[in-house]
Structure 1
Amino acid sequence: MTTAIPVAPADTRRHELAAFLRSRRERISPEQVGLPPTGRRRTPGLRREEVALLAAVGVTWYTWLEQGRAIQVSTQVLDSVARTLLLDRNERAHLFALAGVEDPVQVMDCPTITPAVRLVLDQLSPLPAAAINRRYDILAYNRTYTGIVGDLDAMPPEERNVLWLAFTDSYFASVLVDREEARASIVARFRAAMADHGSERAWTDLLKRLCQTSPEFEALWARHEVEGLGNGMKRFLIPGAGLLRFDYTNLWLGPNGGTRVVTYTPADDATRAHLESLGDSAESGGPE
Structure 2
Amino acid sequence: MEQPGTSPSDTELGAFLRSRRAALQPHQAGLPDDGRLRRVPGLRREELAQLAHVSVDYIVRLEQGRTRRASRPVLDALADALQLAPDERGYLFTLADVAPATPARRSCRPEVAPRLRQLLETMHDVPALVLSRGMDVVAWNRGATALLGDFGALPPAERNLIRLTFLDDAFRSLYADWPRVARECVAVLRMEAGRHPEDPALTALTDELNARDPDFRTWWADHQVRGARQLTKTYCHPVAGTLTLDVQQFSVDTHPDQLLVAYTAPADSPSHDALRFLLQWATGRDTAAK
Give the TM-score normalised by the residue count of structure 2: 0.60
Structure 1 residue runs of 5 or longer lacking an equivalent are: 4-71, 73-96
Name 1:219's counterpart in structure 2: 218
Q: Secondary structure, in 3 states, of the residue corresponding to 1:140? A: strand
**Superposition map of 1:71-82 within 5 A:** none
Structure 2 residue runs of 5 or longer lacking an equivalent are: 1-6, 11-68, 70-96
Name 2:207's counterpart in structure 1: 208
Q: Matched residues in 2 for 1:102 and 1:123: separation?
A: 35
Decide whether the 8 Å contact of 2:112 with 2:138 is kept in 1. Answer: yes
- 1:271 aligns to 2:271 (yes or no): yes
Q: Secondary structure, in 3 states, of the residue corresponding to 2:218? A: helix
The structural deviation recorded for 1:107 is 3.8
Q: Secondary structure, in 3 states, of the residue corresponding to 2:233? A: strand
Decide whether the 8 Å contact of 1:109 with 1:133 is kept in 2. Answer: no
Decide whether the 8 Å contact of 2:174 with 2:237 is kept in 1. Answer: yes
Decide whether the 8 Å contact of 1:250 with 1:263 is kept in 2. Answer: yes
Q: Secondary structure, in 3 states, of the residue corresponding to 1:127? A: coil
Larger Rg: 1
Report the RMSD for the aligned CA atoms in angstroms: 2.7
Q: Matched residues in 1 for 2:192 and 2:259: separation?
A: 14
Q: Matched residues in 1 for 2:229 and 2:165: separation?
A: 18
Q: Residue type matched to 1:233 in 2?
A: T
For residues 162-182 of structure 1, the C-alpha deviation after alignment (integer angstroms, 9 at most, x for no partner) is 001110134221111111111
Q: Residue type matched to 2:130 in 1?
A: A
The structural deviation recorded for 1:254 is 2.7
Give the TM-score normalised by the residue count of structure 1: 0.60
The structural deviation recorded for 1:252 is 0.6
Q: Matched residues in 2 for 1:244 and 1:152: separation?
A: 20
Q: Percent identity?
A: 29
Name 1:232's counterpart in structure 2: 231
For residues 111-168 of structure 1, the C-alpha deviation after alignment (integer angstroms, 9 at most, x for no partner) is 1112211111111222110000121000101111112211111111111110011101
For residues 169-225 of structure 1, the C-alpha deviation after alignment (integer angstroms, 9 at most, x for no partner) is 342211111111111111111101211211121111111111122121111111111
Q: Matched residues in 1 for 2:281 and 2:217: separation?
A: 34
Name 1:77's counterpart in structure 2: none
Decide whether the 8 Å contact of 2:148 with 2:171 is kept in 1. Answer: yes
Decide whether the 8 Å contact of 1:149 with 1:171 is kept in 2. Answer: no
Name 1:111's counterpart in structure 2: 110
The structural deviation recorded for 1:281 is 4.7
Q: Secondary structure, in 3 states, of the residue corresponding to 1:144? A: helix
Q: Secondary structure, in 3 states, of the residue corresponding to 1:235? A: strand
Name 1:156's counterpart in structure 2: 155
Superposed structure 1 runs of 4+ greater than 4 Å apart: 280-283
Q: Matched residues in 2 for 1:243 and 1:229: separation?
A: 24
